[in-house]
């Protein structure tokens, strides 16, 4: 009976935590944009977050960025061809659009160029509204041109031009009922803070001023997820060390809690995994971007709190793995396990790796085979494409399986 009751509580928490998140079970999400989306970095990070934070949510992701694109299309074809082939065919329920970097043509603001952008954007939305009337749109205010860590190329700088393009999207969204996600200003704020800490290192966040590295994409992914109402909490557990009893828990079920002269012992069945950072952590600009942002606080809170602990210092073990030593004062304040090397974080990194592999298979099929060879009338091509579909789907199944949390055993051993 106790197990059934715990399961019911777990399912209620799961339903509640998903209720306010933008994505719903059954959604098909298409990420559409230019080379910054084509990098498949912020998109992979967003997908990994969804898989690890909502492991039972049935959502599919398609990455459809193409380098050089504008609102009128680009190297992958005109806008109508791009939308038909790379978006509409997947029958999306959610579409994100990030365009503008190339549309401004890397020069001072020009009204004629801006008018071309607004007209093209309106056409893009009209095509999608006709093709998918129930489609939920997220209009992404484009990521910044880095005029922070390097001097602007002209008075005012190119990012000021992008901000004028970005602000136009607010008006468009009000008319269309779309969500707006600002991927520009939050990253600029990180660049400014990082520059104060490490002026040279800050340049690695957006190495060529246009295309962010993993650190920049992490902040961009965070901004998109915030626009979607993503929860910060992975799980929280609070224990009273004096009585050895559970005070509270969220997004997890705590069981078999006991206290003895050695310390405290319990089990957890978490609802989610923490959000992994790209590895290795030594990637240029990555940790500087994390330290210059609110990422851990806003996206990745896996909190353990033990008040009134009896000993001065404890060793924390999870599934037998030593996570670290913490003082009673640190435990009373609360430690964020998402900042430590835990079994849950190792599992989450497996999900990230599978997300990258699945995305790369899709990109290989689409960009290297289907598009360039589709008109060659090659007899073996259809079967090869089908085989790659099966491989992509198998990787997705492994990705979803890897994201399912298991039972974890906690030990706080007095030192």
pLDDT, tens digit, for every residue of 345-369?
A: 999 999 999 999 999 999 999 999 9
pLDDT value of position 19: 75
pLDDT, tens digit, for every residue of 152-202?
A: 999 999 999 999 999 999 999 999 999 999 999 999 999 999 999 999 999
Residues in CB range of 29: below 8 A, 6 or more apart? 23, 59, 60, 61, 62, 92, 93, 94, 95, 96
Helix (H) or strand (E) holding 374: none
Q: What's the mean pLDDT in 289-300?
A: 98
- Decide if 305 contacts 269 (C-beta within 8 A): no
pLDDT value of position 118: 98
**Three-class SS of residue 88?**
helix
pLDDT value of position 129: 97
Instruction: Determine the Cα–Cα distance for residues 169 and 178; give it in Å rounded to an integer.
Output: 9
Question: Using CA of residue 282, residue 286, residue 292, residue 297, what is the dihedral sign?
Answer: negative
Question: With 60 as the cut, is the pLDDT of residue 261 above it?
Answer: yes
- Decide if 265 contacts 246 (C-beta within 8 A): no
Residues in CB range of 73: below 8 A, 6 or more apart? 79, 80, 81, 82
DSSP string, 140-207: EEPPPP--SSS--SSTT-HHHHHHHHHHHHHHHHHHHT-EEEE-SHHHHHHHHHHHHH-HHHHGGGST
Q: What's the mean pLDDT in 304-322?
A: 97
- Decide if 189 contacts 222 (C-beta within 8 A): no
CA atoms within 13 A on the CB side of 376: 11
DSSP string, 20-44: TSS--TT-EEEEEESHHHHT-SHHH
| Nearest CA among 191, 101, 86, 89 for reference residue 141 | 101
- Decide if 141 contacts 184 (C-beta within 8 A): yes
pLDDT, tens digit, for every residue of 21-73?
A: 999 999 999 999 999 999 999 999 999 999 999 999 999 999 999 999 999 99
Q: Which residues pair with 161 in a beta bridge?
A: none
Question: With 50 as the cut, is the pLDDT of residue 339 above it?
Answer: yes
Question: Is residue 4 very low, low, confident or very high in pLDDT (cuts 50, 70, 90)?
Answer: very low
pTM, full prediction: 0.94
Question: Is residue 15 very low, low, confident or very high in pLDDT (cuts 50, 70, 90)?
Answer: very low
What percentage of the chain carries pLDDT values higher than 70? 96
pLDDT value of position 281: 84
pLDDT value of position 279: 86
- Decide if 312 contacts 327 (C-beta within 8 A): yes
| Nearest CA among 287, 415, 270 for reference residue 345 | 270
Average pLDDT, the chain: 95
Instruction: Determine the Cα–Cα distance for residues 86 and 75; give it in Å rounded to an integer.
Output: 13
């Amino acid at each position: 009976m106790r197990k059934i009751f715990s399961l019911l509580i777990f399912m209620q928490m799961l339903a509640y935590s998903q209720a306010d998140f933008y994505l719903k079970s059954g959604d098909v999400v298409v990420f559409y944009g230019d080379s910054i989306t084509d990098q498949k970095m912020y998109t992979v990070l967003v997908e990994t977050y969804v898989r690890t934070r909502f492991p039972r949510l049935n959502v599919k992701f398609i990455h459809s960025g193409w380098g050089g694109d504008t609102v009128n299309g680009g190297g992958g074809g005109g806008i109508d061809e791009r939308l038909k082939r790379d978006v509409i065919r997947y029958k999306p329920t959610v579409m994100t659009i990030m365009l503008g970097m190339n549309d401004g043509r890397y020069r001072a603001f020009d009204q004629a160029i801006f008018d071309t952008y607004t007209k093209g954007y309106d056409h893009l939305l009209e095509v999608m509204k006709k093709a998918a009337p129930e489609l939920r749109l997220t209009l992404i205010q484009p990521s910044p041109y880095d005029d922070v860590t390097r001097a602007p190329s002209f008075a005012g700088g190119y990012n000021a031009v992008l901000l004028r393009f970005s602000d136009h999207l607010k008006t468009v969204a009000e008319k269309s009922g779309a969500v707006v996600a600002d991927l520009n200003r939050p990253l600029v704020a990180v660049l400014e803070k990082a520059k104060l800490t490490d002026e040279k290192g800050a340049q690695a966040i957006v190495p060529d001023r246009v295309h962010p590295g993993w650190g920049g994409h992490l902040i961009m992914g965070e901004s998109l997820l915030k626009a979607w109402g993503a929860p910060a909490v992975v799980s929280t557990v609070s224990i009273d060390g004096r009585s050895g009893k559970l005070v509270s828990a969220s997004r997890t079920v705590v069981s078999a809690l006991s206290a003895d002269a050695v310390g405290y012992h319990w089990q957890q069945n978490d609802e989610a995994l923490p959000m992994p950072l790209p590895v290795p952590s030594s990637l240029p600009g990555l940790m500087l971007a994390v330290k210059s942002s609110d990422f851990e606080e806003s996206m990745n809170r896996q909190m353990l709190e033990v008040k009134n602990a009896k000993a001065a210092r404890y060793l924390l073990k999870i599934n037998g793995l030593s996570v670290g030593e913490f003082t009673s004062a640190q435990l009373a304040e609360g430690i964020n396990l998402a900042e430590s090397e835990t079994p849950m974080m190792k599992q989450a990194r497996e999900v990230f790796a599978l997300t990258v592999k699945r995305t790369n298979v899709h990109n290989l099929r689409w960009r290297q085979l289907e598009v360039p060879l589709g008109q060659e009338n090659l007899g073996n091509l259809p079967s090869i494409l089908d085989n790659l579909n099966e491989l992509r789907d198998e990787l997705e199944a492994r990705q979803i399986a890897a994201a399912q949390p298991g039972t974890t055993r906690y030990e706080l051993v007095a030192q």
